[in-house]
Amino acid sequence: MRIKLHIRAIIAAAAVLAAAWTGPGAYAQRISLTLNLAELRDSINAESTRIFDETMTELRDSDLVARDRLIARMGELTKFRSIYDPSSGSYLGDLAADIAKEHLGKPYVWGAEGPSAFDCSGFMMYVYRQVGVKLPRTSREQFKVGESIDIPDLKKGDLVFWSGPRGTVGASIGHVGMIVDVDYERGYFSFIHANSTKQGVSISRSDERYFLLHYKGARRIIPLDK
């Protein structure tokens, strides 16, 4: 497969690495290295977008797509995306997280299943339905699906659970969200959820006090790409 990498970026990065930590001007050289690596990253992101667009065109224009070819194409896309994003786990998991972000700001309404409003489990059920995965309706039932995941292994698209807003520490499952990013160095994760009547669909962090106290666990619904 042809990959459009900026040769200039690679040469510049190699040259800077050779001299980055010696001689005068090292600070400026490190800045140059950062800029060139950012350029390289943008090239890889552009290539992953091209692969995705080609695949979508293929799906639209053909009644029959070779399954193995499609799986291989999606594997290429996931590989490119994960180079600079360690929280990327699978194509469908990443896609689910991206779809969820499209609904930021929509209101929380108890019992709502979208697309104009959601409650927490209705939101997860709606988003997963968009990638072809059926989830049960309540957060308590969703906690029984997939496999249990520890925090250091979390990836985009994984579901995370807490006891409900009126629950005490150790109470039963009452709230659910979806991983959108993981800071592995600092040990916290960001997740999107239908939060409350005040905040609606929003992104929160696991190191906020309530979520620290009421965390119950995580489940992986979509297996990682191999």
Alpha-carbon Rg for the chain in angstroms: 21
Token pair for 141: 């039932």
Q: Considering the candidates 6, 103, 120, 214, report the single residue annotated as catalytic.
A: 120
* Alpha carbon distance 174, 180 (integer Å): 20
Picking from 103, 166, 155, 152, the residue whose alpha carbon sits closest to that of residue 129 is 103
Tokens 């499609």: give the residue: 70
Locus of tokens 């180079």: 83
Exposed/middle/buried for 147, CB within 10 Å: 0-12, 13-18, 19+? exposed
Decide: 40 and 10 in contact? Cβ < 8 Å: yes
Active site residue 214: no
Q: At 218, which amino acid appears?
A: A
Residue 177 buriedness (CB in 10 A; 0-12 / 13-18 / 19+): buried
84 three-class SS: coil
Say whether 103 is catalytic: no
* 193 flagged as catalytic: yes
Residues belonging to the active site: 120, 175, 193
